[in-house]
Amino acid sequence: MHDFAVEPDSPLTTWGQVHRHLRRRLDDGETPVGAKLPAEPALAKDYGVSRATIRRAIRALDDDGYVVRRRGAGTFVVDRAKRVVCEVDLLRPWRDQLLAGGHAARSRLLEFVPEAELPPGLRALIHRQPGDALARGLHVQEVDGVPIAVTESWIPAHSSAVGRAAHPTDLVSATGIIGVAAASGRQVELLDAYPDAPLIEVVAYSRLRETGDLVELARTRWLATRVRCTYGRTLRWGQIDMAELVPSAMRRTERR
């Protein structure tokens, strides 16, 4: 018997709490890839909830890529890596990567506000003063028709001077911060996700390298169940964390 109990004061719905608990059990390898989950009535009895609650939690696990439901056969655990919609190297333009891989990738603009205020947290990040005129756009990023991210972008509202000074081949420098978040409100709707779905949040601040002029501030929330982030780097062997541990581990082994 597991240690689950419904938390009445939790902001999560009952099905969300069951889903979270099932997800943790699968992450811990309690049920191996290829194995069949217990039937809905058994899970409902085990968790002390209704079958409708279990059904909603299982559907979210399917959306997450943890399981696949086969009509008449049941629900089976799958290799999540094979259910990911796409891989994105955050150090490179995402559309170029996916287009090169034969995918249809687009950024769909849903809203444009000619003048908008930055959220306080982002204003502090780039030292922007209240009242500085910025235009805001809201985009949905899609791959093969599937939404994978929502992006809010801010650019100078009166960017004609930047536009005249810039050229498509000019270098742009970008710095960023990566964090985690949970889908809520409109993000759930735009991403066709469930409340509390895990998001990878990337805030990127881009400037023209030559002049330092602001090009764009963007906050992208990638749906972690559909996107796997990758990266590559080159470094010396001595810079690897294990390099410091190997000599001492070898000495202890030799003493035995």
Residue 249 domain-assigned?
no
My answer on whether 34 and 99 are in the same domain is no
My answer on whether 44 and 101 are in the same domain is no
My answer on whether 73 and 100 are in the same domain is no
Contact 58, 37 (CB under 8 A): yes
My answer on whether 201 and 122 are in the same domain is yes
Predicted pLDDT at 254: 57
My answer on whether 146 and 54 are in the same domain is no
My answer on whether 141 and 36 are in the same domain is no
My answer on whether 142 and 219 are in the same domain is yes
My answer on whether 73 and 179 are in the same domain is no
Residue 110 domain-assigned?
yes
Angle, CA 228 vertex, CA 231 and CA 142 arms, to 5° = 115
My answer on whether 91 and 199 are in the same domain is yes
Count how many domains the chain has.
2
Tens of each residue's pLDDT in the chain, 256 residues: 578 888 888 888 899 899 989 988 988 888 888 899 999 999 999 999 999 999 999 988 888 888 888 888 889 998 876 666 788 898 888 999 999 989 999 999 999 999 888 888 887 777 665 556 889 999 999 999 989 999 999 988 765 444 445 567 788 888 889 999 989 889 999 998 877 788 999 999 988 888 888 889 999 999 988 898 888 778 787 777 777 666 655 555 555 5
My answer on whether 129 and 144 are in the same domain is yes
How many other C-beta atoms can be found within 10 angstroms of the C-beta atom of residue 29? Answer: 9
What domain range is 27 assigned to? 14-82
Residue 168 domain-assigned?
yes
Residue 38 domain-assigned?
yes
Residue 190 domain-assigned?
yes
Contacts of 77 (CB under 8 A, 6+ apart): 26, 31, 32, 33, 34, 35, 36, 37, 66, 67
Q: Report residue 198 as tokens.
A: 């895990």
58 dihedral zone (left: phi>0; alpha: psi -120 to 50; beta)? alpha
Residue 76 domain-assigned?
yes
Beta-bridge partners for 76: 36, 68
pTM of the model: 0.72
Predicted pLDDT at 161: 44
Residue 7 domain-assigned?
no
